[in-house]
Every structure is written in structure tokens, then in C-alpha cells.
Structure 1
Amino acid sequence: MKKSVFGVMIATALLMTGCTDSGPDSDATPTSESAPYPDGPVTMTAGADPGSGFDLTIRSVVDALQKEKIVETALPVQNRPGGSGVDYLATMVEDHRGTNDQLAVTSLSMMVNQVSGLSEYGYDDVTMIARLMSEYYVVVTRPGGPLADLSSVIAAIASDPSRVVVGAAHDDELPFGLLVSAGGGDPSEVRYVTQEGGRAQSTALLGGEIDVAIGGVSEFVDELSSGNLTGIGILADTRIPGLDIPTARELGLDVTLSNWRGIYGPPDMPTDAVEYWQTALGTMVETPTWKQIAERSKFTTTFMIGDEFDKFLADTQKDVETGLQQAPR
């Protein structure tokens, strides 16, 4: 099988560099001596549909911050879907410059969208606050469906791409394309139906509108645990504890790939607000509430801020640029 250079590069960049905690002192409290920030609600935005990875992440952040009484001001959550974060990123850049009351969740998709030409903006255009976590991609289907394992799915696409309909957000087409390439197929011929998130994909799968879907583990973990959906391949080095899903490598497809997620604010966000949120989020990831969320959602906390986060972003952007150049079209 064809080896995925991009899968190896990105997985290494995201996981090997993500196991350190460079956050602020966990005993610190997110307060400002000079001003009572925040002095009003701070809007928390997921640039994708309810049930998406963005949505689950931002709601988990709000839940942990408020349950642990780290932030007691109102944190209203809004969904602003469009282009896997492309549309709201533009809104943040163009409409909220210099403000201190807007936060949003982002991921590897920010880089993929910019490098592939879907977005004119990237991480340099906003205030990157913190990296929170990483999770692997998983391929799922409905129980009793015609394609019950990943090998059959990839073989079917290689022989006749019209046979298989795949649900995926725009940025999730890349990891699925790597699987197809590793199995000898042509990624450019895959029949995709664009769906921004696990909830929409699960509904489409159970309704027979698509045959398989791909997304982050957290987007499907409840449906997998209940047996409503079946995981047929995970793009991890080893199996994830608690999920009986074979890795792509076990099935002869040499692809591993994970996705990072983090929080960003508008360009020119005031320094006191940035420091407040870095401290608040650094405190949050050490709490029992957050650790319970991470265990339930099957993601790994990989908290970063400051110079370490800046280096991670720059290195990963380069990996994405190289990977997209090398990825089969």
C-alpha cells in the first residue's frame, strides 16, 4: 500500500509536540489588577453546525469554565456555520478587530482552508490564544449497511467511485483522500456530500443518504457507544481505549492523522483580555470537569500558549503546505 507522507508528518507534528503543558501556573486566577475584565458577556462561537467538532469543543469549554467557577460572566454560545469555519473567520477579522468580547474555536481546518485557497485568512490574521487538545479522525457507517468494513469501502471506491457516498466537512476530505490513495484509488473521484459535523453526518447515515462518514472521534462517540453507528477505521497509531475500532494501519492502509483544536480571538485583541483567557483556559484543563470531558470524548489535552503555541502553528502550517503539495489530486 502507498505510504501517506502527509499523514505521518501531521500526526507527528500534532501529537509529539503536543504532550507538554506550557500554560500558566494552575494556581493563578484569571483576574486583572487594572480593570474588572470581563465586564460583560463574552460570545463563544462555533463556526460550524450543532454537533460538529467545533460546537462540541466550545460548549465543553463553556461548561468546564462555568462549572468550575473559573469564569462567572455570561458566555453565550452561537453557531455560525459556513465552510468549516471559513465564514466566521472572515467575520472575526473584518467585524471584530480590537474587541475583547469575542472568542471562537478553530482547528487544523483553518490551515487547510487557507492553504487550499478556500479562505483568504489564516492564523496570522487573528489572535491565537491557546491550543486545547488533539483527536484522531474516525470513519463510521451504519450497522448492517452494505459496506461493513473500511477495507471494503476503500476497495469499492478504487474499483467504482460512484458506488460510495461519503459524508465529510470540507477539511475532512483530506484525511479520507489519504485513505483512498493508500488503497490505490483516486481521491479526486470520491463522491462527497458536504456536512459540517457529526450530528448531520449521523442523521444522513441512519437515513441512508450516505454510506460512510469521517470526522473527529468526539463527534461520533455517543452514537458509537450506543451502537447506533459502527466505527470501521481510526487514523491512530494504536486503538483508542474504550472504542473497539481497528486502526487504518491494521487494515493495510498506512495513514495516521489527528486534528488539533484551540481558541482564538479577533485581531488586535487587548493584551489583558488575551492573558485573562490564557490563564482561565490553563486553569480549566487541569480541572476534574475538563478531564471528565476529555475521557468521555476520547481526545488528548495538549495545552499550549505563547512561544510554544506560535512555533507549533508555524511548523504545522508548513507541514500542511508540504502535505497538500504532495497529496494526490
Structure 2
Amino acid sequence: MQSTSIRTRAKLAFGATISVTLLLTGCTNSEPAAGYPSGPVTMTAGAGPGSGFDLTIRSVVDALQAEGIVDVPLPVQNRPGGSGADFLAEMVQDHGGADDQVAVTSLSMMVNQESGASPYGYSDVTMIARLMSEYYVVVTRPDSPFRNLGDLMAGIEADPSGIAVGAANDDELPFALLVSAAGGDPSSVRYVTHEGGGDQIAALTAGDIDVAIGGVSEFVDQVTAGDLAALGVLAENPVPGLDVPTAAEQGLDVTLSNWRGLYGPPDMPADALDYWQTALAQMVQTQTWKEIAERSKFTTTFMIDDEFQTFLAATQEDVDAGLRVAPR
């Protein structure tokens, strides 16, 4: 991926792909060992219900089972903590060599490691596949005094401690870039940490926070229903089916998306890795998955093996550069 300049523009793509691309040429041609999987495989979201992790892993399970691609039980568990950092540590420390554990991850894995929140990163586990990317969006209550991102940035400049911003650990970075692009001080923002969209929606409804930032899929149903108001989406162009102006259209040159994918334990057996890469390659081509992607407003960007590793390395460099511009 081409290196992104951030000296003159507060703009980071983190490997975002605008068009749907199914990069299947890297898929393994080998057949997984007969008999795998022979029992349940636990599918873990390292955040609570309604989070991007939760929505992603449940979408994967739904698609795999609806299409008959995987015929063993795939129990989903939510293990919130540190935007995925807590379960990542457990995966590394307790499940090495296992073939019955799969978890979802995202940009948060990199932000946590680069910021010192976690000692572990993608090189410590078995990265299975990148599945998709989605843009960040800033939301608030319908009765909020903030009608757009300009209002919000002005409010933060006038009284940064008076505005509570709900954000998971990795969501602080895109919000800080917005503040920086508006000429403000990112370190002045008062964040209230939440594991994901479900917690953020509850906090907004209760009045505990003033605005929230997260992936479009975490808020799209509430925005469409009018239960939340979206102030801006961090996309190059308006998101089809979502009547929300981009940050750039509002004078803030910030474009940012989050990737999500699946990983397994360190030293995951080769036959298990082959199985999941093959199953997921089939899944992203199904009608069920395409309908999920359309509903959730994310872009399928399937990658495995060397292509995935190249993407991860380049994105890690972008995260490091982004944290230098807008440190958490």
C-alpha cells in the first residue's frame, strides 16, 4: 500500500478500499485434512453486544451456517475488555496451537499495540483473513444542539471538558484527527471509553455522553430509524443509502476507515487455517454475505496470506504515523 502523507493533511486511509474487491487469487489450493472441524469452534468478539466486533462475528457465523459452508456449531461469545486487547492476550497466552478458537479483530489491534495498551499484535497470532472495511461516523441524539461537525468542533474548542465523547480505544484516533483538522487540540478532548456501538447507544440515550464515534454498521439502524442523528461520515464520498454528509464536505479533510478480519491462536494448525481461509473465501461470494454487507454499509475486501500480511505491515506504519499526528 502506498505510504500516506500526513504532514500537510490530516488524512489517513489505513488500507481503505472503495470498490468491492475479492482478492481470491491468494487462496490456498490445498484441501484441509479430512475430519476438521470435528466439533464446535468458538467464535469470539472481544467487545460487547452491538459493537463492531460483535456485529462482524455474528454476521460471519450467520452467513457460514445459512449457506451450509460450515456444519459444526459455531458458538459466539462476547469477551469485552480493552477494545479486544484482553481477549487477544488470552488467545496468545492460553490457546496456542488450538484449532477450535477464532476471533474477530480490526484496526484496534494495531492502535492498542502502538499506543502501549497491549504488548501483543498481529505477529503474535495466526491472521486468517481480512474480511471488510467500513468508515467511521460521528453520531449524537436527535435533540442535540450539534447539527453538524462544525458545530461540534466549535463546541469542543469553546469548552472541551464540557463535551463527553463516547469512543472505543481505537475510535479516539479518528476523532482526534477531526479535532486536529479543525485546528483544535486533540489532547483536550474528554473521552468516555465504551467497547462499541451497543454501549455507546445506551450512553447517548441516557445522556451520559454527548456524541459518539464508531463504525457505520454500529449505528446505521438507529440513524435510519431517526433514533440517532449522524453529524458526518469519514468517507471520500457519501455512503450510498446513508443520507449523511462527509467530513470533507464540511471542510474537515479527514478520510478514515476501519478494517476487520479474523485471527486464530499462535501456531494454529495448518489444516485449520486452510479450512477457514477456504470457507471464508466461499462465504464472501454468497448472496447472504452480500446482503449483510449492503445492510451494514461496509465494503468486502477479502485478503489472505502474503497479500494480507503486506496490508497489515503497511497499515501498522500508518497507525504509527497517525498517532504521531494525533496522539491518544
TM-score range, shorter chain: over 0.9
1:262-297 deviation digits (Å, cap 9, x = unpaired): 000000000000000000000000000000000000
Q: Is 1:35–2:38 an aligned residue pair?
A: no
Q: Is 1:189–2:192 an aligned residue pair?
A: no
Q: 1:222 to 1:260 in 2, by over 3 A?
A: same
Q: How big is the alpha-carbon RMSD for the aligned residues of Structure 1 and Structure 2?
A: 1.9
Q: 1:85 to 1:7 in 2, by over 3 A?
A: farther
Matched letter for residue 8 of structure 1:
K
CA distance in 2, matches of 1:147, 1:196: 24
Q: CA deviation at 1:35?
A: 2.8
Output the TM-score relative to the length of structure 1. Answer: 0.94
Structure 1 partner of 2:13: 10
1:22-55 deviation digits (Å, cap 9, x = unpaired): 35679x8x963x4300000000000001100000
**Aligned-partner SS, 1:240:** coil
Output the TM-score relative to the length of structure 2. Answer: 0.94
Q: Is the 8 A contact 1:232 1:246 kept in 2?
A: yes
Structure 2 partner of 1:233: 232
Structure 1 partner of 2:23: 21
**Aligned-partner SS, 1:162:** helix
Matched letter for residue 179 of structure 2:
V
Number of residue pairs matched? Answer: 323
CA distance in 2, matches of 1:35, 1:193: 48
CA distance in 2, matches of 1:6, 1:78: 40
Structure 2 partner of 1:167: 166
Q: 1:7 to 1:39 in 2, by over 3 A?
A: farther
Q: 1:31 to 1:38 in 2, by over 3 A?
A: farther
CA distance in 2, matches of 1:17, 1:204: 34
Q: 1:4 to 1:137 in 2, by over 3 A?
A: farther
318-327 vs 223-232, which moves further: 318-327
Matched letter for residue 61 of structure 1:
V
CA distance in 2, matches of 1:67, 1:129: 21
Structure 2 partner of 1:212: 211
71-80 vs 16-25, which moves further: 16-25
Q: Is the 8 A contact 2:63 2:283 kept in 1?
A: yes
Q: 1:209 to 1:321 in 2, by over 3 A?
A: same
Provide the identity percentage. 66
Q: 1:264 to 1:17 in 2, by over 3 A?
A: farther
Q: Is the 8 A contact 1:47 1:54 kept in 2?
A: yes
Structure 2 partner of 1:176: 175
Structure 2 partner of 1:57: 56
Q: CA deviation at 1:162?
A: 1.9
Q: Is the 8 A contact 2:50 2:218 kept in 1?
A: yes
Q: Is the 8 A contact 2:167 2:193 kept in 1?
A: yes
Structure 2 gap segments, 5+ residues each: 1-5
Q: 1:47 to 1:180 in 2, by over 3 A?
A: same
Structure 1 partner of 2:294: 295
Structure 1 partner of 2:73: 74
CA distance in 1, matches of 2:31, 2:220: 36
CA distance in 2, matches of 1:205, 1:16: 30
Matched letter for residue 11 of structure 2:
V
CA distance in 2, matches of 1:274, 1:23: 16
CA distance in 2, matches of 1:203, 1:4: 37
Q: Is the 8 A contact 1:49 1:79 kept in 2?
A: yes
CA distance in 1, matches of 2:66, 2:26: 20
Matched letter for residue 286 of structure 1:
Q
